[in-house]
Amino acid sequence: MNLLFAIDDNVVTQLMTTLYSIKQNSSAKNYSIYVIQDRKLRESKKLQDFCQKLGMHYHPVMVQKSDFDSAPTTDRYPKTIYYRLLAHKYLPKNIKRILYLDVDILIINDLKPLYQIDLKDYWYAAASHNSLDVTDDLNKLRLGNYETESYYNSGVLLMDLDSIRENVKASDIFAYIKKKGKTLVLPDQDVLNGLYGQHIMKVPDELYNYDARMNPLYFAKSNGDWDIDWVIDHTVVLHFCGRDKPWLPDYKERFSGLYKHYAHKTKQIL
């Protein structure tokens, strides 16, 4: 299982917590962990040792900032927003498939079925949270992509790298950002949806990108079936979206205790 992350020095511990949850709950025998960075992480050795203890293989993926000199950037759109979109340029050519994950995620059931999903002719697979609100049409209008089925969250993104290498071009991404400018709210996610949304296979968010903020809405949407017991039994990816993060001392939402448990077990390994 090839897994991709894009981090800086501020969230190395959070990455390790996510990795620990994957190792505990997924059935793959081998894991290769690719981490995009534009300079060597201060705690690279610590991360490498941690991966070794878990039986995972750590691979830093070094991006040259100069490769993005022609990219439009502002305070809102730093060069780092491009790293995930163009990761295929830097990953080894023999890798055919990889799963990108944000680090504000716990894996609480087996990740392997998502990783092995048949993508058919799609380039990506991702989940949409828009079944919980009514913004799909507004996003299509804002981004100018009326062919896409939905607006997808890019925090969990399965990639067919052969298709992406053939079709996803830096020049298209840079031109789109120049064209859309201030209409882009979540830059890399908006670019993904605006340019490539029609090439994304939709997977169920209650399984593969459960927004931890929205548990009352999931409960209502399922007529009471998706309660906390259902989540523990069925949800694979528990995503702590938004500004409030479960590693912060004042986080008190429903799944805070679960996250703290995995963080504690991670510290024990460290």
Q: List the structure tokens of 53.
A: 């203890």
The CA distance from 237 to 112, in Å, is: 11
pLDDT, tens only, 39-65: 999 999 999 999 999 999 999 999 987
Residue 185 gets the label, from left (phi > 0), alpha (psi -120 to 50) or beta, of alpha
Q: Judging by DSSP bridges, how do beta strands 2-6 and 32-37 pair with one another?
A: parallel
Give the Cβ contact number of residue 44 at 10 Å.
15
Q: 3-state class of 79 per DSSP?
A: coil
Sheet holding 97-101, edge to edge: 57-62, 32-37, 2-6, 97-101, 152-160, 124-128, 200-203
The CA distance from 132 to 21, in Å, is: 26
pLDDT at 136 exceeding the cut of 70: no
CA distances to 147, 151, 195 from 137, in Å: 11, 9, 16
Whole-number mean pLDDT of the chain?
A: 91
Per-residue pLDDT band at 140 (split at 50, 70, 90): low
Look up tokens 């919980």; give the residue. Answer: 132
Q: List the structure tokens of 235.
A: 């949800």
Please, which residues have CB within 8 angstroms of residue 160's CB and are 6 or more apart in sequence? 96, 97, 119, 122, 123, 124
pLDDT, tens only, 194-245: 899 999 999 999 999 999 999 999 999 999 999 999 999 999 999 999 899 9
The CA distance from 70 to 116, in Å, is: 36
Residue type, position 164, single letter: I
pLDDT, tens only, 72-125: 777 766 788 788 999 999 999 999 999 999 999 999 999 999 999 999 999 999
pTM reported for the whole predicted model: 0.92
Q: Judging by DSSP bridges, how do beta strands 152-160 and 124-128 pair with one another?
A: antiparallel
What residue spans of the chain are helical by DSSP H? 12-25, 44-54, 81-85, 112-115, 136-143, 161-167, 170-180, 187-196, 205-208, 215-221, 228-234, 256-269
Give the chain's length: 270
- Say which CATH superfamily domain 2-269 falls into: Spore Coat Polysaccharide Biosynthesis Protein SpsA; Chain A (3.90.550.10)
Q: Where are the domains of the chain?
A: 2-269
Q: 3-state class of 60 per DSSP?
A: strand
Look up tokens 């009514």; give the residue. Answer: 134
Tell me the CB-side half-sphere exposure of residue 111, using CA atoms within 13 A. 31
Please, which residues have CB within 8 angstroms of residue 96's CB and are 6 or more apart in sequence? 160, 161, 162
